[in-house]
Structure 1
Amino acid sequence: MTAMVFGGNGGIGAALVEALAARGEAVHAFSRTPMPGLETVVPHVGDPFDEDWLAGELARVGEATLVIVASGVLTLPGGTGPEKSYRALDAAAMGEVLRINTVLPALIAKHALPLLPRKARGVFAAISAKVGSIADNGLGGWHSYRASKAALNMLVKNFGIELARTHKQAAVVALHPGTVDTALSEPFQQGLPEGQVRPPQEAARDLLAVIDAVTPQDSGSLIAFDGERLPY
């Protein structure tokens, strides 16, 4: 199997790369900055918003049976975190969160979905979040992050419908990894119940188990790390 992981040097992404390599898969890891070297992993370092670069790198990989988008942002580099109130909304910050969490996976899908096998099983999986569920939202807040993940979930649904017309054995899914001990969640871990924050290696193991079990009938779904189908 040939797998591509975007966000390959992030907390979850790096753990997925290591887990896939340990299984003997041919892994292509995409990141903006150089990653720690793994002998069996092919690195692709560049800006995925550069569509010429992205298309060229994917063309060199060729057909892939698994594509995972594990990139994302909750707190921006300048320190701007999720809004607690609509009064804190800022157009530039909101646009940047949407650009990274929604537009980037869409651009990757644009170039990667055609590389899934047409006559064999293939999976495109994007790391989303339960807080992107509109039906499950009882707290409000975190406006930009919630909106970006809700929009990503809609794109996954759209892509699943479209891909089914040409790739009968493929699936496009959004995955909720739970609360994982990464730089993304670190500022928000205080006060969480013991055991709720899980190491990236455990999250990667669970996510790959979900991916391994996905069927074309699951395409378009938001699925938690424990296999639960979550509402949009």
Structure 2
Amino acid sequence: MALIAELPGPGQVLVCGASRGIGLALCQRLLARSDVERVFAVSRRATASQALQTLAQQHPGRLVLLDCDARDESALADLASALRQQCSHLHLVLCTLGVLHEAPARPEKSLAQLDLASLQAAFLSNSFAPILLLKHLAPLLRQHPATFAALSARVGSIGDNHLGGWYSYRASKAALNQLLRTASIELRRLNPLSTVLMLHPGTTDTDLSQPFQANVPAERLFEPAFTAERLLDLVARHGPAHNGAFLAWDGQPIEW
């Protein structure tokens, strides 16, 4: 199956949040494919990541490491400028950015635990960074088949919220969904071959989920490699006809 719908040849791919967890697993899976020409691995300390350096040595010329703190818009502008010097277009952007319990963000259990610092940290990483990444990369996603897929979360669904709690995380993922849904409409006008997807990866064994794994059945706790494979399968199966969709790892749509 092709990397994305209607892709005529090998793809140029960017993974943001590439140095660990799902992002690293995506880089590994992508580099194992013959229809991927090059992967741009972006994270705050990509060039210092031993795992990414090892991958780069295993795939000479196919993995480019780029340092960028996506929470800083000037850094995103610099990233886009650096990319334009190396490629004329991107076919696939995978954004795995997200924070749940990295201070000052935290998974609040009650209103009393809410504070401005936690809210700002959650929205900065979970909402603002992904949409600003798309803003600055948008010129590289025009006039050819292109997909921008970001990790959202089922708990960002307002209709599916029956338990409460996790105020900042829920709200910031709901905001991400609205921002990307809105962007999908604009991008479709600019490029009818574009697709924007919001993907719930399921509970994956990463630093983000580690404190909350105790009550997750073993068969529902996924290894990053499995999650990466499922996400790439979703991307391959959902093209422009599914633009703006919010999907779970198993392909089922999630209510807003």
Name the TM tier (shorter chain): over 0.9
User: Which of 40-49 and 2-11 deviates more?
Assistant: 40-49
Query: Which residue of structure 2 aligns with residue 100 of structure 1?
Result: 125
In the aligned structure 2, how far is the partner of 1:57 from the partner of 1:128?
27
Q: Which runs of 5+ in 2 are unaligned?
A: 1-10
Matched, 1:152 2:176: yes
Over the aligned positions, Cα root-mean-square deviation in angstroms equals: 1.3
Aligned partner of 1:54 among 46, 62, 79: 79
- Percent identity between the aligned chains? 40
Query: Which residue of structure 1 aligns with residue 44 of structure 2?
Result: 32
Matched, 1:191 2:215: yes
Query: Which residue of structure 1 aligns with residue 3 of structure 2?
Result: none
Q: TM-score, normalised by structure 1?
A: 0.95
Matched, 1:9 2:19: yes
1:83-120 CA-partner distances (Å, limit 9, x unpaired): 011110010111011001101001100011221141x3
In the aligned structure 2, how far is the partner of 1:51 from the partner of 1:105?
10
Q: Which runs of 5+ in 1 are unaligned?
A: none
1:12-60 CA-partner distances (Å, limit 9, x unpaired): 0000011011113110000101222223311001323223422322323
Q: How does 1:6-155 map to 2 (within 5 A)?
A: 6-24=16-34, 25=36, 26-33=38-45, 34-35=48-49, 36=51, 37=53, 38=55, 39=59, 40-48=62-70, 49=72, 50-60=75-85, 61-77=87-103, 81-118=106-143, 120-155=144-179
Query: Which residue of structure 1 aligns with residue 8 of structure 2?
Result: none
SS in 1 for 2:195: strand
1:166-193 CA-partner distances (Å, limit 9, x unpaired): 1101100100000000000000001211
Contact conserved, 2:13 with 2:90, CA < 8 A, in 1?
Answer: yes
**Structure 2 residue identity aligned to 1:71:** L
SS in 1 for 2:219: coil
In the aligned structure 2, how far is the partner of 1:214 from the partner of 1:52?
29
Q: CA deviation at 1:215?
A: 1.7
In the aligned structure 2, how far is the partner of 1:136 from the partner of 1:212?
26
Contact conserved, 2:103 with 2:118, CA < 8 A, in 1?
Answer: no
SS in 1 for 2:124: helix
Query: Which residue of structure 2 aligns with residue 178 of structure 1?
Result: 202
Q: TM-score, normalised by structure 2?
A: 0.86
SS in 2 for 1:149: helix
SS in 2 for 1:19: helix
In the aligned structure 2, how far is the partner of 1:132 from the partner of 1:22?
32
